[in-house]
Each structure stands twice: as C-alpha cells, then as structure tokens.
C-alpha cells in the first residue's frame, strides 16, 4: 500500500386487494461526545452495539465538530422534530433522492398505483435502517401510501447527511448523522420511539437494534404494534431467538430470506459493491492478487465471482458442506483460514458470525494485507484485540487505517471492520429498489392482515409477493414474460398468474 419454525405463508398475500391499480473517518476512535451527557445505555446489549455498519457521504465537507444534539435547527415549515447534521444541506440531498428515484421503478410504481386507497393509512412506522438516497425513496413511498414515519440510522457511519437533511426538510422526523457516537446512536433511536402523543404500530428494522430497544425500554408498546419487518441476517437471527424463547410478542416478517432479497441484494449487489469499496479505499489492482473470502453464502458468492472475474486467485472458507461443495464446483479452492493466512493479499469476511478473523490470524498476516468485512455486524473481525498499546493506529484516509506492529509490519483495516460497501462506497440503487419494494409490501401485508392470519412468530414472505416484486422491475429491461397456455398450466398444475414455484424451491 503506497498510502497510508419458519412459516411459509400460503396463498395470495392480499396485496392486490389492498392496492387499487389506477393504472400500471484523525486519531483512532476519536468520537466526541458531550461531557456530562448521560449515556442511555452501554450494557443493554453488547450484540446490539456490535451491529453498527458504515458509509461515506460525498457532500459532507463540514468541519463543524458541534454535535447535532446541541444545535437548534428548524426546517422551512418551522418544525424542529428532527436531528441531522445540517438542515441547510437539504437541497443537495433532494437531488440525490431524485437521481435514486430513476433507478427504483417498483417503488415509483407503487406510488402511482395507490392513488385511490392508501393501504398504509393509519400506519405509524418507526424505522431503523441505513439512511441513504435509496431508503429515502422508500420512506417517501411509505408516506405516499398513507403512513406516518419516524426514522433513525441502523449504524453510525452509513448516513448520508444531505439525504437526512432533505428528509427533515420534507417533514420526516429523522434522527441520524454520519459519525454518531455510541451514545448518539441509542439517543437517536430513543427519540424516534419515545414521543409524546405518538406511538408506533409497525416496526421496520435492519439489524434488530430498534426492536431490541423497544423490548428493553418500552415493552408495553408491543400491545399496539401489529408487526415487525426485518431485512438483515443479524436481525432475523435475533427474531428467531425471541421466538424460540417464547418472547416474540408480535408477528414478524423475515425479509432477508425472501428470494428477492437474498438473490438480488445479497448476491448481485455485493458482486458489484465489493470491487467498488476496495478500489475506492486502496486503489489496488485485483489481477493476480490472492484473496480469501470467509463464507460462501449469497454475499460470499457475489464477492468471489467479482474477484475471480478480475483475475484474482480466490480461496474460500466454509463450515457448511453444501456451500463448500458449491464453492468447489464453482472453481474455488476450499481451505481453512490458517492454511493461507500468511500468503493472501486480501481477507474478506461475510459469514454473519463472530471472531472469524482473530488476533492470531492478524498477527500472522503478511505486510500490507487488506482486511475488510462484508457482513452486517462488525463482529467478524476481532478489531478490539488490535486496540492494545504495542500496536499503532494510523489513519490514512476516511475509513482506512494502518495498524502497525512493533516490527514495522502493517495491515490495512477498512471501515474498522464494519460493512465495507456502505462504509467506503455505495451500493447499486436498482438492487435496493428490489429490497425496498419487498419491505414496503411486507409492511402492507402485516398492517392489513386480518386478526389471526399471523401469530406471534417469524414468517417468510409469500411466494406470490416475491414474484410480484420481480415483475415490477422487468419493464426496466424491456423484458417480456412468456405466458402459460391453459393446457400448459393444467399440465403443471399451476395458476396461470402464479405462484410458479413451490415454497421449497431453491432458486
């Protein structure tokens, strides 16, 4: 480096009945927190604070060190029910949102097709996601569908300050800014939830921190909450833990395991964004580089495919024999991390686990090895073990640190072990359109479901809903679906309008 159980919901989701179609990173760990400010909680959940992710804001050039919590800001309508870095950045954020809208056809279609009825009328949604131009399009779509929303960020670095400002200017109560401290993180979530005269009846979460906070601080709120929609591996894992323990109070929709989320967001999105994140931070050439990718799930598959296509020599580590066999059949050498740790140029984690890369591994890495994470949580790389007196941290550029050993060896740590693509680059808007549409339809389904349809458990999205989301995106490619004849449909035992695959089908 020259520079420094699962339920499959049967039948139609009822979505069409609800939507009327009118037509078709200074010093390491320097995070200023106002002295004397009471910390909301450090001990509430270690796993919660481990789930921060990250990202870069291109127009955030402000050198103002004043905490947004200490500023008095109002939007043009006189409202101060928000907390962002700088409300004056709203115009720039609005332009970014307008660009994102061009690549999010399904959400824009939902807005047009819900002209008559508002399927989320009366819904009060509290959300905790990455706050980017793409999620802004989702939030404004939910508003157009009749919902009231309050929003916080699911991480401390991924917020685009100008987008948060644009949302605040439009009247959305948003509490988020890039570079929040841990105390700020929980404070923002609390400001979304603890509001006089307003109580949420739906939760949209990414990582489970919002759900966790409500369970710990305001459990009585679940009496009025109709459901939870969760999109991350980490958050879904927490929901299944709650369900297994009999502590899940409301129905929850597992968006992460929907086909349209896993196959498109996890696979195709990461196939493009892994290269973007690495190139922007390190300016490296991939050809001939030796890379080890820990985990061969959908994210790992996307990363491996992209790196292989660029001429990298790719190794894979896996615990699951099925995923391991897939890696072998795709032409990758399956290894244990210890076998290649001394020779590889890049280490990428994407397992959803913890301590995948330990201090022992870090000590054995070659000079200038790049270490990064593509999983939601910053638990995969044991970054805490690097915060010791004998190691020197040197900030190279935003989200890039050299960690230097006493003998002069250094590794390049990206985003302090947090999510690389949203820390150091961006992700493809079109793919996020697919995920965001799935989230919107899951909210509509849970909110409008008759009492008794969903019990206090975790559910998979109906197959029909996945197919509907996919169909909304096909016109972008001028794609033309073949239609079954009556005879063909009868032969296959299918409805001509779908669903076309059984729930157990693996795409």
Alpha carbons 215 and 436: distance in angstroms, whole number: 25
Q: Is 394 annotated as a binding-site member?
A: no
Task: Say whether pLDDT at 420 is over 60.
Answer: yes
pLDDT at 64: 63
Q: Which long-range contacts (CB under 8 A, 24 or more apart) does 7-11 make?
A: 7/457, 7/458, 7/459, 7/460, 8/460, 8/463, 8/503, 8/504, 9/459, 9/460, 9/461, 9/462, 10/462, 10/503, 11/462, 11/464
pLDDT category, 7, cuts 50, 70, 90? very low
Stretch 177-201: mean pLDDT, rounded? 94
Q: Is 299 annotated as a binding residue?
A: yes
- Establish whether 300 is an annotated binding residue: yes
288 is in an annotated binding site: no
409 marked among binding-site residues: no
- pLDDT over 70 for what percent of the chain? 87
pLDDT at 2 over 60: no
Report residue 69: phi and psi, to 5°: -65, -20
- Is 91 known as a binding-site position? no
Whether 302 has a binding-site annotation, put simply, is: yes
421 is an annotated ligand-binding site residue: yes
Check the annotation: does 272 bind a ligand: no
What pLDDT, on the 0 to 100 scale, is given for residue 49?
Answer: 37
Residue 265 marked ligand-binding: yes
Tens of pLDDT along 83-125? 999 999 999 999 999 999 999 999 999 888 876 789 999 999 9
pLDDT band at 232 (very low <50, low <70, confident <90, very high): confident
Spell 136-164 as b/e; 16+ CB within 10 A means b.
bbbbbbbbbbbbbbbbbbbbbbbbbbbbb
Average pLDDT, stretch 333-352?
A: 96
Q: Which residues pair with 346 in a beta bridge?
A: 291, 370
Name the DSSP class of 223: G
Residues 6+ apart with CB under 8 A from 507: 259, 263, 501
Q: Is 298 annotated as a binding residue?
A: yes
Cite the DSSP H helix spans in 151-246: 161-169, 182-193, 209-217, 233-244
pLDDT band at 406 (very low <50, low <70, confident <90, very high): very high
Classify strands 392-397 and 400-404 as parallel, antiparallel or unpaired: antiparallel
Q: What is the pLDDT of residue 507?
A: 82
Share the mean pLDDT of the chain.
87
Question: What mean pLDDT is predicted for residues 379-388?
Answer: 95
What pLDDT does residue 310 have? 97
Q: How many CA atoms lie within 13 A of 197 on its CB side?
A: 0
Is 4 flagged in the annotation as binding?
Answer: no
pTM equals 0.79
């Amino acid at each position: 480096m020259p520079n420094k159980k699962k339920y499959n919901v049967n039948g139609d989701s009822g979505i069409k009945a609800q939507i009327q179609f009118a037509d078709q990173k200074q010093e390491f760990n320097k995070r200023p927190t106002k002295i004397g400010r009471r910390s909301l909680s450090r001990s509430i959940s270690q796993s919660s604070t481990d789930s921060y992710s990250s990202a870069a804001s291109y127009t955030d050039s402000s050198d103002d060190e004043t905490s947004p919590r200490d500023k008095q800001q109002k939007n043009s309508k006189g409202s101060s029910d928000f907390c962002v870095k700088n409300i004056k950045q709203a115009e720039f954020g609005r332009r970014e949102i307008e660009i994102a809208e061009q690549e999010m056809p399904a959400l824009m279609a939902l807005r047009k097709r819900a002209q008559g009825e508002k399927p989320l009328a009366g819904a009060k949604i509290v959300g905790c996601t990455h706050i980017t131009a793409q999620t802004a399009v989702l939030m404004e779509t939910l508003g157009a569908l009749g919902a009231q929303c309050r929003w916080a960020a699911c991480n401390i670095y991924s917020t685009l300050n100008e987008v948060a400002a644009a949302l605040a200017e439009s009247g959305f109560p948003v509490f988020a800014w890039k570079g929040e401290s841990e105390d700020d993180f929980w404070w923002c979530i609390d400001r979304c939830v603890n509001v006089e005269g307003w109580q949420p009846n739906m939760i949209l979460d990414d990582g489970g921190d919002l759900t966790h906070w409500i369970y710990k601080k305001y459990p009585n709120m679940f009496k009025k909450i109709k459901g939870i929609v969760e999109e991350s591996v980490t958050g879904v894992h927490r929901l299944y833990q709650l369900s297994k323990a009999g502590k899940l109070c409301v129905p929850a929709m597992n968006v992460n395991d929907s086909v349209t989320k896993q196959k498109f967001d996890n696979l195709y999105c990461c196939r493009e964004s892994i290269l973007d994140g690495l190139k922007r931070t390190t300016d490296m050439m991939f050809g001939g580089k030796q890379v080890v990718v820990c985990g061969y799930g959908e994210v790992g598959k996307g990363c491996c495919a992209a790196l292989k296509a660029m001429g990298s020599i790719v190794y894979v580590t896996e615990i699951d024999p099925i995923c391991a066999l897939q890696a072998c059949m795709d032409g990758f050498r399956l290894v244990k991390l210890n076998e290649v740790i001394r020779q590889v140029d890049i280490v990428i984690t994407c397992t959803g686990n913890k301590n995948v890369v330990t201090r022992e591994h870090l000590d054995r890495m070659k000079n200038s090895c790049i270490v990064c994470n593509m999983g939601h949580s910053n638990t995969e790389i044991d970054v805490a073990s690097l915060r010791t007196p004998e190691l020197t941290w040197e900030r190279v550029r935003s989200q890039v640190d050299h960690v230097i050993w006493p003998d002069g060896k250094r590794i390049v740590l990206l985003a302090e072990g947090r999510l690389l693509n949203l820390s150091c680059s961006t992700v493809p808007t079109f793919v996020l359109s697919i995920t965001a549409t799935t989230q919107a339809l899951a909210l509509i389904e849970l909110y409008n479901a008759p009492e008794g349809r969903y019990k206090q458990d975790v559910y998979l999205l109906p197959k029909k809903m996945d197919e509907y989301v996919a169909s909304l995106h096909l016109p972008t490619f001028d794609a033309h679906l073949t239609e079954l004849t009556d005879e063909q449909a009868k032969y296959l035992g299918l409805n001509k309008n779908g669903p076309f695959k059984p729930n157990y089908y693996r795409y």
